[in-house]
Amino acid sequence: MVRTIDDAPCRLTVCRGCCCGTRKKVPGVDHEAQLARLGSIDDHAARRVPMRTSKCLGICFQADVVVVQPSGTGRAAGGRPVWLGRITDDELLEAIDDWIFEGGPGLAPLPEALVDHVTSKDAKKPKKPKGAKHSKAEKKKRKKDKKREKEKKAKAGKREKKAGKGAEAA
């Protein structure tokens, strides 16, 4: 049987480079088992979903990243690749499997479990919130106040020690 593009199954691209798939970046995940699980997904026509790994998909702050490409039929219906980030739980792998079995992008709605994991190749790393800006004079004042507080604590400690020695001698 000759396959046409229209009947091509969904495909997966799984990031496994510098960050995704590493214990250092995402500890507590069995990355090899995760990769094996993704590689064993079948669609509704009992076809194995092709999976490839990528060295880096460029959004390392979203590790582990999986891209679900639509099937030929899904693409014809308007489906486009869906980028998913922070795919680290078995429940999320199950949701991907179920979604692909139901048709995937363009043919089946995105499972609720995956909604908060949708990202894109152009995702920007969120900036850390900046603290309130202070003038140099305010910074100097805070530094002096801290120093005075430290000196007060040291003096109080010495007084307590002296008082303790006086009580022992009596």
User: DSSP letter string over 110-165?
Assistant: PPHHHHTTEE-TT--PPPPPPPPP--HHHHHHHHHHHHHHHHHHHHHHHHHHHHHH
- pTM greater than 0.75: no
Residue 28's pLDDT is: 86
Residue 102's pLDDT is: 94
* Euclidean distance between CA atoms 34 and 15, whole angstroms: 12
* Euclidean distance between CA atoms 2 and 143, whole angstroms: 76
Residue 105's pLDDT is: 95
From the CB of residue 82, how many other CB atoms can be counted at a distance below 10 Å? Answer: 22
Residue 2's pLDDT is: 47
* Euclidean distance between CA atoms 9 and 45, whole angstroms: 9
Residue 149's pLDDT is: 87
Mean pLDDT per 10-residue segment, the chain (170 residues) = 66 88 84 91 89 90 92 94 93 95 95 93 75 73 86 79 63
